Structure 1
Amino acid sequence: MSEETAPESGEVVVVTGMTGAGRSTAAKELEDLGYFVVDNLPPSLLPDVVRLVDRTRGPKQPIAVVIDVRSGGFFDELRANLAHQATGRRSTLLFLEADDNVLVRRQDAARRPHPLQGSGRLLDGLLREREVLRPLRGQADVIIDTSNLNVHQLTARVSERFGTPQVLSLKVTVVSFGFKYGIPVDADFMADMRFLPNPHWVPELREFTGQDPAVAEFVIGLPDAQAFIDAYVPVLQTISSGYLREGKRYLTVAIGCTGGKHRSVAMTEALADRLRRLGYDVLTAHRDLGRE
């Protein structure tokens, strides 16, 4: 739509299209992808929003603005802003549409009138909306027909087009904990390390933690510990593939032992190291370390 701008500038995505076609879903996905999202923006304010974001978050921050048919006569101004590079950034116009019968069903299910319906039927409002939006649709860089897409499929289409490999990768947090203090409430999956011998009962290891080399070597050197990691990592790989397919990009794995000091800490670090070597973006946390 416009000439390329400096590569360090973030993209501006303008989301528009038919009422009921999925604008809100697309905007939510863009927000999850790291975009600064502004809903129901008057087109005349687009350059002001870009300047504000440039000043407060920097020019690399990508921006998405949602504009609907209520902007009406301001669409000419929007087209002029995009055509003349008024934002100083690369801009993409995303247009969402669907068949009339699908839009009618969605609006009926939402129990909301169409903004252009007036005293007429819902279908009358949709026909007026199509006519108003026709010039924008003709200028769209990306058109997504959501007639046969569910919410997950639409978010996948948006992420495929606007996501980056870094943003779309799964973020894994492996956290150690002690059962005596309770299971972490944010854990997606939990594993119990109390099947391993406890370094607490080894006098020369008792005062150390799973972060100390002597304890880590003791725990990780156990055949059952290695067998667990070898078996559990493929499970997490299967889970991670499913999470990404369903649009979930964060996975928290809790590794527990009695007090959260020895076994769970050492196994958390070992599991995280194995996942990193497989290419996962992994953080570790030790919730209860230092509590005893």
Structure 2
Amino acid sequence: MTETQRQDAGEVLIVTGMSGAGRSTAANALEDLGWYVVDNLPPQMMRPLMDLTELAGGALPRVAVVVDVRGRDLFAELPAALEALRERRQTRMMFLDASDEVLVRRFESVRRPHPLQGDGTIVDGIHREREVLAPMRESADVIIDTSSRNIHQLSTEVAELFTMKGAARHTVTILSFGFKYGMPPDADMVADMRFLPNPFWTESLRSLTGKDETVREFVMAQTGAEEFIDAYAQALHPVLDGYQRENKRHSVVAIGCTGGKHRSVVMARQLAARLDSVPEVTVRVKDRDLGRE
């Protein structure tokens, strides 16, 4: 493995911190951002993991490794493994922390013991863990105190810290469909295009679809079509902004007509074109019922 190959292999993020401070939430947020996440990895396995990711080339550009005291005695090897890793790859460490009172409350709410409490109390386990993790906290690149954060706020902060510059923070799928085939079960919002005249009743358009230019011209020439799609796109702007603030990374806007062949297909594309310029949002179009009889 050449040095150039190692530099091109991508960044590594070590996620560690106090049990109950939100490591799983942070790991899930990173996975949603496209990181390859490995949970509860023994430090001794970091080198084989790096070998694997480097062999994968660009397929695994960013790797996050969750390492914590669940590894028991193996966790003691983390400082040495981390030093070797920093010499090999661009590496950062994120440490998640919370106050003792908050951690106790979280453990009591899930009715699980602290991994280090042994025959003692939850507080005993927390104090032991703080002693073990003290060197890691001192060397961390990012420290997040989650005492006053809920899981959505933590996910949002992780997204803000580790989203690649220029990468989309939300993906919206504009889904055309036909009401006669049932409502899309995964739709976050639904718009009904049956207020527009149906091209199906125009013989020259019946066999065509909303992808055809003549159908598009017919639909967009109808009274209210242009006004509706402009207003609906404008109304969705604050919704998409809010989804990003709440770290909701995917949404589905369903556009329906009777059969999902003409009006909904045209208007889905019209809406997508108007949302394409929304910052940090990727827009996709999918036709659920196009091609059905």
TM-score, normalized by length of structure 2?
0.92
Q: Which residue in 2 is equivalent to 1:179?
A: 179
- The alignment covers a number of residue pairs equal to 289
Quick one: structure 1 residues 134 and 38, their matched pair in 2 at CA, closer, same or farther if it must change by over 3 Å?
same
Quick one: structure 1 residues 86 and 48, their matched pair in 2 at CA, closer, same or farther if it must change by over 3 Å?
farther
Contact map agreement 1:10 1:59 (CA 8 A) in 2: no
| Aligned: 1:80 with 2:80 | yes
Q: How far apart in 1 are the matches of 2:58 and 2:213?
A: 43
Q: Which residue in 2 is equivalent to 1:266?
A: 266
Once the two structures are superposed, the pairs formed by residues 8-87 of structure 1 within 5 Å of their partners are 8-56=8-56, 58=58, 60-85=60-85
Q: CA deviation at 1:227?
A: 0.8
Quick one: structure 1 residues 218 and 35, their matched pair in 2 at CA, closer, same or farther if it must change by over 3 Å?
same
The amino acid of 1:239's aligned partner reads V
Contact map agreement 2:237 2:278 (CA 8 A) in 1: no
The amino acid of 1:215's aligned partner reads V
Contact map agreement 1:40 1:66 (CA 8 A) in 2: yes
Q: How far apart in 1 are the matches of 2:213 and 2:168?
A: 35
The DSSP-based 3-state class of the residue aligned with 1:109 is helix
Q: Which residue in 2 is equivalent to 1:291?
A: 292
Which has the higher mean CA deviation after the structures are superposed, 66-75 or 36-45? Answer: 66-75
Calculate percent identity across the aligned residue pairs: 53
The amino acid of 2:289's aligned partner reads D
The DSSP-based 3-state class of the residue aligned with 2:180 is helix
Once the two structures are superposed, the pairs formed by residues 1-292 of structure 1 within 5 Å of their partners are 8-56=8-56, 58=58, 60-85=60-85, 88-278=88-278, 280-292=281-293
Q: CA deviation at 1:74?
A: 3.9
The DSSP-based 3-state class of the residue aligned with 1:84 is helix
Q: How far apart in 2 are the matches of 1:117 and 1:64?
A: 27
1:76-104 Cα shifts (integer Å, max 9, x gaps): 53222322336732111111111111111
Which has the higher mean CA deviation after the structures are superposed, 127-136 or 63-72? Answer: 63-72
TM-score, normalized by length of structure 1?
0.92
1:121-174 Cα shifts (integer Å, max 9, x gaps): 211111111111111111111111111111111111111111124544221111
Superposed CA RMSD: 2.1
The DSSP-based 3-state class of the residue aligned with 1:95 is strand
1:3-42 Cα shifts (integer Å, max 9, x gaps): xx97633211111111111111111111111111111111
Q: How far apart in 2 are the matches of 1:269 and 1:105?
A: 49
The amino acid of 2:227's aligned partner reads A
1:186-212 Cα shifts (integer Å, max 9, x gaps): 211111111001111222222211111
Contact map agreement 2:15 2:93 (CA 8 A) in 1: yes
Quick one: structure 1 residues 270 and 95, their matched pair in 2 at CA, closer, same or farther if it must change by over 3 Å?
same
Q: How far apart in 1 are the matches of 2:278 and 2:98?
A: 41
Runs of 5+ consecutive residues of structure 2 not aligned to the other structure = none
1:38-83 Cα shifts (integer Å, max 9, x gaps): 1111101111112122324636521111111133444453222322
Quick one: structure 1 residues 116 and 277, their matched pair in 2 at CA, closer, same or farther if it must change by over 3 Å?
closer
Quick one: structure 1 residues 162 and 238, their matched pair in 2 at CA, closer, same or farther if it must change by over 3 Å?
same
Quick one: structure 1 residues 54 and 273, their matched pair in 2 at CA, closer, same or farther if it must change by over 3 Å?
same
Contact map agreement 1:81 1:87 (CA 8 A) in 2: no
Runs of 5+ consecutive residues of structure 1 not aligned to the other structure = none
Contact map agreement 2:163 2:169 (CA 8 A) in 1: no
Q: How far apart in 2 are the matches of 1:22 and 1:181?
A: 42
